[in-house]
């Protein structure tokens, strides 16, 4: 199942598939600059403080990158 969109919803991020069904809800972090960074058909990137976490379409964290 592919990621079609990711939408910030307050302090969380709703992730939808190509049929418009919500497949994930990820914590978006609090504070300025935190939240959704971007998404592809297979990943969602979320900034939380000084790092960016990358998740797959199942909600598993696959990477963590220090943010500058």
Q: What is the pLDDT of residues 23-55, one digit of tens each?
A: 999 998 788 889 999 999 999 999 998 999 999
SS3 31: coil
> Does 68 have pLDDT greater than 80?
no
Q: Which residue is listed with tokens 């069904």?
A: 21
> Tell me, what's the pLDDT at 16?
98
What is the mean predicted confidence (pLDDT) over 10-19? Answer: 95
Please state, in angstroms and rounded to a whole number, the distance separating the CA atoms of residues 62 and 68: 19
> Tell me, what's the pLDDT at 1?
79
Q: Which domains can be identified in the chain, with CATH numbers? A: 3-66 (2.40.10)
> Tell me, what's the pLDDT at 33?
86
Return the C-alpha torsion angle 2, 63, 39, 51, nearest 10: 160
């Amino acid at each position: 199942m592919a990621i079609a969109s990711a939408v910030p919803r307050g302090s969380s991020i709703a992730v939808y598939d190509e049929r418009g069904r919500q497949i994930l809800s990820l914590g978006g972090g609090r504070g300025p600059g935190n939240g959704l960074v971007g998404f592809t058909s297979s990943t969602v990137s979320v900034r939380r403080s000084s790092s960016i976490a990358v998740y797959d379409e199942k909600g598993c964290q696959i990477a963590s990158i220090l943010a500058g």
